Amino acid sequence: MSNLLLFPIIIPLFFAAILMMFPKNLKLQRTLAAVGAGAALLSALVLVAKVNTAGVQAVTLGSWPAPFGISMVSDPLSALLVVTSSIITLFVIFYSFPTIGIKREQSFYYPAVLFLMVGVNGAFTTGDIFNLFVFVEVLLMASYTLIVHGGEKPQLRESIKYLLVNIISSALFVAAVAFLYSVTGTLNMADLAVKIPQIEETGILTVIAVLFLVVFGFKAAIFPLYFWLPGSYYAPPIPILALFGALLTKVGVYAIMRTYTLFFTMNIGFTHELLGIIAILTILAGCIGALAYFDVKKIIIYNIIIAVGVILFGIAQLNQPGIDGSIFYLIHDMLIKAALFFLVGIVAVLFGTTDLRQMGGLIKTYPVLGWVYLVTAFGLAGIPPLSGFPGKLLIVQGGFEGPQFWGSIIILATSLIVLLSAVRIFVYAFWGEPVETVPLKKSVFNQMFIPTVVLVALTVAFGVGAELFMPLISGAGEVLLNPSIYIDAVLKE
């Protein structure tokens, strides 16, 4: 069936529209939201199986020939990312039941989450640069709703900053697309990849490439453009934060990944070196933030920035281990960030605060929670059997094989800082003198804890079974390194 790759986009859209009709019916909201996200996940899994056996899937909407209509393309990379984002959305919906509060649930919370899913899945699947802009706007609109949802004072304050930054970067996005269109005369990504190498003046194209780096850098929070992220992500409640932290910046990372491997390869000496240097600066900036705070949410938020740097460094190398490592690390990071935010959310609820200095001794009353957190923290830092290891190993290997060997050394060194920042939460919250905790009903705790544990188990399986997933990952890397596979699938020549 040729439209299979659109199902992860259509299904949540359909359920979101249905849910808009009866906002007050709590039971129906919860069931339909979970059913919608679950169905989308199921179709995404079928899609991965199909892409794995039958190669890159492409469909051009409205039966128009390829460069003229909007192409939707599902290569192994985008199919894997669609699966990951669907898993995360489903778990966030489960985690929302006990945590988000009935008042929020009754004012279009689940439709907003599903619309966010539509935007993210669409951005991962599209093969048209302007359509990418539209899907990015879809997910941003949903994220505006979610960041201000509930209307608490910090949310209102931070949503203004978030809106302002994103509107400016979206305007830049339109300008960048306009420049690219005036130079090449096409918007289809596969067609761009054909046209750009034919243009002899690479000067203007390099400028456009850097402009796109600025645009996607705003979304992905790279070094000088990450200033909005720590404040904005701190404001909304934990399930929304987990959704943002796991998905939103990764769309920017994916867009850089796609554009910098598919068509901005005419002046690698400048653009990819710049990307590599920015990636390292991003890691350093994130590390400083992760060590500076005594606040559990802030520490994990700065870890998002570190991970973005690590992934982008792998892409900047443009060699096989670097790209494969980036893809592996991207998927690992989406899963583990959601799991970490879930865990930190439980800890924050138990103590009634996010300040580390007012916590302590949780290991005596909640031992399982403590050990699950420790495993997740080790996974984040990349301790061998866990999921952070294979990706980082490949990225470091790519750096040593490429021109930026010093970058690999920095990544290895900063892994220690990541471990320190994550273990610090463990030391402060779980060891030491027990502090009085907020009483929490057993059933509520279980409702929060079960999705978290399953997600952590998934990341562990992803790390331990890395050998199983590696063919998929290197298949995705192969398409990125050989744009001709992508171009042939779309233009069908």
Partner 1 sequence: MRTNDVMLQTATKVVTFIILMFAVHIFFAGHYTPGGGFVGGLLTTSAIVLLMLAFDIETVKKILPINYVTMTAIGLLLALATASASIIFDVPFFTHAYDYFDLPLFGKTSLHSAMLFDAGVYLVVVGVTMTIIQTIGEDE
What is the dihedral sign for C-alpha 297, 299, 300, 305? positive
Q: Does 1 bind partner 1 (CB under 8 A)?
A: yes
Note the maximum CA span of the chain. 69
Strand, coil or helix: 188: strand
The smaller minimum CB distance to partner 1, of residues 16 and 381, is found at 16
**Which span sits near partner 1 by CB under 8 A: 56-64, 250-258, 349-357, 448-456?**
56-64
Minimum distance, C-beta of residue 7 to partner 1, in the bound complex (Å): 9
**Which span sits near partner 1 by CB under 8 A: 61-69, 201-209, 236-244, 441-449?**
61-69
The residues near 109 (Cβ < 8 Å, ≥ 6 apart) are 29, 96, 100, 146, 149
Beta strands in 48-201 (DSSP E): 57-60, 71-74
C-alpha 88/C-alpha 140 separation (Å) is: 17
C-alpha 227/C-alpha 237 separation (Å) is: 20
C-alpha 451/C-alpha 379 separation (Å) is: 17
Please identify which residue in 43, 57, 60, 414 interacts with partner 1, judged by CB under 8 A: 60
Beta bridge partners of 128: 188
Please report where in the chains the tokens 């190398």 appear, as a residue. Answer: 317
Identity of the amino acid at 182: S
The smaller minimum CB distance to partner 1, of residues 146 and 296, is found at 146
The smaller minimum CB distance to partner 1, of residues 60 and 317, is found at 60
Q: Does 66 bind partner 1 (CB under 8 A)?
A: no
- Burial class from Cβ neighbours inside 10 Å (0-12, 13-18, 19+) for residue 62 reads exposed
Q: Does 61 bind partner 1 (CB under 8 A)?
A: yes
Question: Which string of x and - marks every residue 413-432 that binds partner 1 (by CB under 8 A)?
Answer: --------------------
Query: Which 7-26 residues touch partner 1, going by CB under 8 A?
Result: 10, 13-14, 16-18, 20-21, 23
List the structure tokens of 281: 């600066």
Please identify which residue in 24, 27, 53, 62 interacts with partner 1, judged by CB under 8 A: 62
Q: Does 484 bind partner 1 (CB under 8 A)?
A: no
The smaller minimum CB distance to partner 1, of residues 58 and 472, is found at 58
In the chain, how many H helices and how many E strands?
Answer: 22, 2
The smaller minimum CB distance to partner 1, of residues 130 and 431, is found at 130
Identity of the amino acid at 325: G
List the structure tokens of 243: 């959704």
Strand, coil or helix: 220: helix
Q: Does 6 bind partner 1 (CB under 8 A)?
A: yes
Minimum distance, C-beta of residue 121 to partner 1, in the bound complex (Å): 14
C-alpha 129/C-alpha 139 separation (Å) is: 16
The smaller minimum CB distance to partner 1, of residues 5 and 253, is found at 5
Identity of the amino acid at 175: A
CA distance to 206, 230, 361, per residue, from 431 (Å): 52, 27, 5
**Which span sits near partner 1 by CB under 8 A: 58-66, 127-135, 189-197, 407-415?**
58-66
Q: How many CB atoms neighbour CB 207 within 10 A?
A: 13
Contact 331, 325 (CB under 8 A): no
The smaller minimum CB distance to partner 1, of residues 17 and 450, is found at 17
For the chain, helix, strand, coil in percent to 5 are 80, 5, 15
**Which span sits near partner 1 by CB under 8 A: 25-33, 60-68, 298-306, 347-355?**
60-68
**Which span sits near partner 1 by CB under 8 A: 55-63, 135-143, 319-327, 449-457?**
55-63
Q: Does 3 bind partner 1 (CB under 8 A)?
A: yes
Please identify which residue in 24, 27, 63, 433 interacts with partner 1, judged by CB under 8 A: 63
Total residues at the site for partner 1 (CB under 8 A)? 20
C-alpha 73/C-alpha 127 separation (Å) is: 5
Minimum distance, C-beta of residue 132 to partner 1, in the bound complex (Å): 17
Question: Which string of x and - marks every residue 294-323 that binds partner 1 (by CB under 8 A)?
Answer: ------------------------------
C-alpha 462/C-alpha 245 separation (Å) is: 19
The smaller minimum CB distance to partner 1, of residues 13 and 489, is found at 13
Q: Does 199 bind partner 1 (CB under 8 A)?
A: no
Q: Does 59 bind partner 1 (CB under 8 A)?
A: yes
The smaller minimum CB distance to partner 1, of residues 10 and 440, is found at 10
Binding site for partner 1 (CB under 8 A): 1-3, 6, 10, 13-14, 16-18, 20-21, 23, 59-63, 69, 72
